A and B are shown apart, each in its own frame.
Chain A
């Protein structure tokens, strides 16, 4: 298995909802990442996990809460989001930090 999978593909939520994005890889990678991408813009790094521990938090608001339950899974819990949080959320993984990153297809999030 040489891919990163993400669910759901699309998500529409209200500002009072709580939802979660999921990411999975079975390549034995030990680093996993969350990125946010607005239309026509490059991805912006949000979080980095290395060996299941949070390594980098790029000053992301607390309404985004990452979780790494095991080495294959990465979640992003969402609560009280704002309409400006609508974006494509991309997950990536790499063998280790400093190696090439492989991206999932993303979750298209719309906050109403």
Chain B
């Protein structure tokens, strides 16, 4: 994950929006991904964005991509307690996924 950076922690109140940020280094990345990992579980693919897109929306999730700044963000609207998890961004480079360190999101009542 040294080529992909994320902030480590985010605390958000239930019902508010969460924004998780990620920066990456490889400008040739074709796809960028967001995965969610709950305690003791595997990784769940949440969404992904192709590098020629700026934005992708999927229900409560919005992905924004700023290719010039190599910045990716995931916005979760109306955050719920079930959204508490570690969120990993990842870039696809030479057929390999390179993960960020993960952002631990804690949802408080």
Chain A residues proximal to chain B, CB less than 8 Å: 4, 6, 40-43, 45, 48, 55-56, 90, 92, 97-98, 100-106, 108
Contact = CB atoms under 8 A, between A and B. Distances in A.
Contacts of A102: 45
A103 B100 CA distance: 17
Given A100-B45, A103-B43, A43 B99 contact: yes
A103 B42 contact: yes
A105 B41 contact: yes
**Majority DSSP secondary structure for residues of B touching A:** strand
Interface in B1-58: 1, 30-31, 33, 35, 40-45, 48
Contacts of B43: 43, 90, 92, 103
Nearest to A31: B95
Contacts of B95: 48, 55-56, 97-98
Given A41-B101, A42-B101, A98-B30, A103 B48 contact: no
B21 to A, nearest CB: 16
Contact of B42 (A45, A90, A97, A100): A90
Nearest to A43: B99
B96 A56 contact: yes
A42 B42 contact: no
Nearest to A58: B96
A45 B44 CA distance: 16
